């Protein structure tokens, strides 16, 4: 009997000791967990504020104009005499040099501009060689829908679905134009990457030719009005004059798109693109409304046609997509696809008026 009492006392003492050790460890774990989350939220808020200020105020100083020496004048010089003159890279025909640049810089591509480390990705294989934007028959961007539904924006184009237990999903890494996966950033493997700036520092002739490849040969994708203004204020003036293919995505709230500040911001950003890109030839505009049809869809449709896009002229290709995202709640977490909201066209969309808009912006004058 005494042995049983002693054994029970020993078991109770062990249980108390285990609890005394376990619960403090649980408390320490949760303290560390929520402290890290609070620190991460604080750092994220500070980074967002810095980026917003950077986008709205940063403006690079004007660069000196390029020397008026064209690559064609280089190619018309007399060929070197073997044995008497050393040959160099510039003695190659311009066509061969441009082909080498494209191989080194992996183009033509789609460049999604960011304040830091812009995304690069391939154009869809179904596009024609001269095609730099989407077709009218292409569906609106799935990547844009997922990013928007998960709370992403032009500040946070990389977002992930919420974790489900031990299951964690990767970030949405698709480009909002073309839907392709973006390339690994060059700074991850600098020893295997040819940076454009490395080539452009060699001489003024190569600088001008690489500008042609970077700006004229690639599609520039801009996420939001702020990013459009940021790009036009800080890109190379010589590069801006070469841009030919542009994709712009505007995400607007269905119940607040007609605020004076929002309308002014979108209209001004498109006007800046018109004035800063004299060589623009193909323009792809995607408008996404969150969530549901707006109260006055006719006013929105007229504003887009007349004020926002009616200011463009002399384009050879133009595409407009207006999507209305629907409210939805995923049944269960299913990765990226489970967080892609359905969409419908704008209720006031009119194919005849859209064709008239295309005719206007693709006419000269």
Residue 210 lies in a domain: yes
Residue 345's DSSP bridge partners are 323
| pLDDT band at residue 63 using 50, 70 and 90 as cut-offs | low
Domain boundary among 32, 57, 82: 57
Do 172 and 147 form a contact (C-beta atoms < 8 A)? Answer: yes
Helices (H), 58-141: 71-75, 94-105
| pLDDT for res 70 | 47
Nearest to 243 by CA among 265, 202, 274, 269: 274
24 plus 144 within the same structural domain? no
Instruction: Provide the residue range defining the domain that includes 10.
Output: 1-57
CA 187 to chain centre: 18
Q: Cα torsion at 290, 296, 298, 303 (round to 10°)?
A: -70
Q: Is there a single domain that holds both residue 281 and residue 355? A: yes
User: Is residue 67 in a domain?
Assistant: no
Number of Cβ within 10 Å of residue 194's Cβ equals 13
- Within a domain: 62: no
d(C-alpha 283, C-alpha 245), whole Å: 6
Of 313, 325, 294, the closest CA to residue 365 belongs to: 313
68 inside domain: no
Distance CA 217, CA 102 (A): 9
288 and 356 housed in the same domain: yes
Question: From residue 2, how far is each of 8, 10, 15, 259, 354 by CA, in Å?
Answer: 10, 12, 20, 83, 95
* Domain end call among 57, 78, 99: 57
Q: Where are the beta strands (DSSP E) in the chain?
A: 109-112, 119-122, 219-223, 245-253, 282-290, 317-325, 343-345
3-state SS record for 257-273: CCCHHHHHHHHHHHHHH
- Check if the beta carbon of residue 172 is closer than 8 Å to that of residue 159: yes
Pick the residue with more confidence: 88 or 64?
A: 88
pLDDT attached to residue 176: 93
> Look-up: residue for tokens 């967990």?
33
Are 46 and 97 in a shared domain? no
| Cα distances (angstroms) measured from residue 148 to each of 31, 99, 343 | 32, 38, 12
For 272, counting Cβ atoms within 10 Å of its Cβ (0-12 exposed, 13-18 middle, 19+ buried), the class is: middle
Q: Choose the final residue of a domain: 14, 37, 57.
A: 57
Asked if residue 97 and residue 190 are part of one domain, the reply reads yes
The interaxial angle of helices 94-105 and 204-211, nearest 10 deg, is 70
**What was the pLDDT predicted at 359?**
95
31 and 167, same domain (yes or no)? no
| Whether residue 106 is found in the same domain as residue 49 | no
* pLDDT, tens digit, 9 for 90 and up, residues 118-137: 888 889 989 998 899 999 99
Q: 198 and 308 share a domain?
A: yes
Three-class DSSP category at 72: helix
241 shares its domain with 329: yes
What the block records as the tokens of 301 is 């449709």
Compute the mean pLDDT over every residue in the chain, rounded to the nearest whole number. 82
Domain-embedded: residue 178: yes
Do 50 and 96 have their domain in common?
A: no
| Helices and strands per DSSP (H, E), number in the chain | 11, 7
For residues 52 and 158, membership in a common domain is answered with no
Which is more confident, 3 or 254? 254
Query: Does residue 6 lie in a domain region?
Result: yes
Tens of pLDDT, residues 296-328:
999 999 999 999 999 999 999 999 999 999 987
How many C-beta atoms surround the C-beta of residue 28 within 10 A? Answer: 10
Please tell me whether residues 311 and 258 are part of one structural domain: yes
Q: Alpha-carbon torsion 127, 132, 138, 139, what sign?
A: positive
Q: Which residues contact 246 (CB under 8 A, 6 or more apart)?
A: 133, 219, 220, 221, 222, 273, 277, 280, 282, 283, 284
Asked whether residue 78 is domain-assigned, the answer is no
The per-residue pLDDT for range 168-197, each reduced to its tens digit, is 778 888 899 988 887 776 656 666 666 777
Confidence category of residue 73, pLDDT binned at 50, 70, 90: very low
The yes-or-no verdict on residue 94 having pLDDT over 60 is: yes
Per-residue pLDDT reduced to its tens digit, 193-249: 667 777 888 888 888 888 888 899 899 999 999 999 999 998 888 899 999 999 999
Q: Is residue 86 part of a domain?
A: no
Q: How many CB atoms lie within 10 A of CB 231?
A: 26
In sequence order, what are the residues at sequence separation of 6 or more whose Cβ sits closer than 8 angstroms to the Cβ of residue 165? none
Q: Give the count of domains, the chain.
A: 2
pTM: 0.80
Interaxial angle between packed helices 2-57 and 225-234, expressed in degrees from 0 to 180 and rounded to the nearest 10: 60
The structure tokens 């030919």 sit at 244
């Amino acid at each position: 009997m005494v042995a049983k009492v002693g054994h029970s006392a020993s078991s109770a003492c062990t249980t108390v000791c285990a609890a005394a050790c376990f619960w403090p460890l649980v408390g320490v774990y949760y303290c560390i967990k929520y402290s890290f989350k609070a620190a991460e939220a604080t750092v994220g808020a500070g980074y967002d504020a810095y980026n917003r200020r950077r986008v709205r105020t940063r403006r690079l100083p004007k660069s000196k104009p390029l020397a008026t020496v064209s690559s064609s004048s280089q190619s018309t010089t007399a060929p070197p005499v073997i044995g008497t003159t050393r040959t160099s890279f510039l003695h190659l025909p311009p066509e061969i040099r441009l082909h080498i640049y494209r191989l080194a810089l992996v183009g033509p591509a789609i460049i999604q501009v960011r304040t830091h480390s812009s995304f690069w990705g391939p154009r869809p294989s179904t596009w024609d060689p001269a095609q730099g934007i989407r077709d009218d028959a292409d569906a609106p961007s799935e990547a844009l829908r997922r990013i928007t539904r998960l709370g992403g924006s032009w500040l946070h184009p990389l977002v992930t679905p919420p974790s489900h237990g031990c299951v964690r999903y990767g970030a949405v890494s698709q480009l909002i134009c073309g839907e392709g996966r973006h390339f690994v950033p060059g700074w991850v493997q600098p020893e295997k990457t040819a940076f454009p700036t490395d080539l452009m520092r060699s001489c003024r002739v190569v600088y001008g030719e690489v500008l042609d490849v970077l700006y004229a040969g690639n599609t520039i994708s801009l996420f939001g009005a702020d990013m459009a203004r940021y790009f036009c204020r800080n890109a190379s003036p010589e590069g801006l004059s070469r841009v030919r293919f542009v994709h712009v995505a505007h995400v607007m709230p269905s119940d607040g798109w007609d605020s004076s500040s929002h309308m002014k911001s979108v209209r001004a950003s498109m006007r800046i693109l018109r004035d800063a890109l004299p060589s623009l030839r193909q323009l792809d505009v995607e408008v996404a409304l969150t969530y549901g049809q707006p109260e006055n869809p006719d006013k929105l449709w007229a504003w887009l046609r007349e004020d926002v896009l009616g200011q463009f002229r002399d384009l050879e290709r133009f595409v407009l997509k207006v999507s209305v995202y629907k409210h939805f709640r995923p049944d269960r977490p299913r990765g990226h696809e489970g967080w892609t909201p359905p969409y419908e066209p704008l209720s006031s969309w009119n194919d005849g008026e859209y064709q008239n808009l295309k005719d206007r912006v693709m006419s000269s004058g």
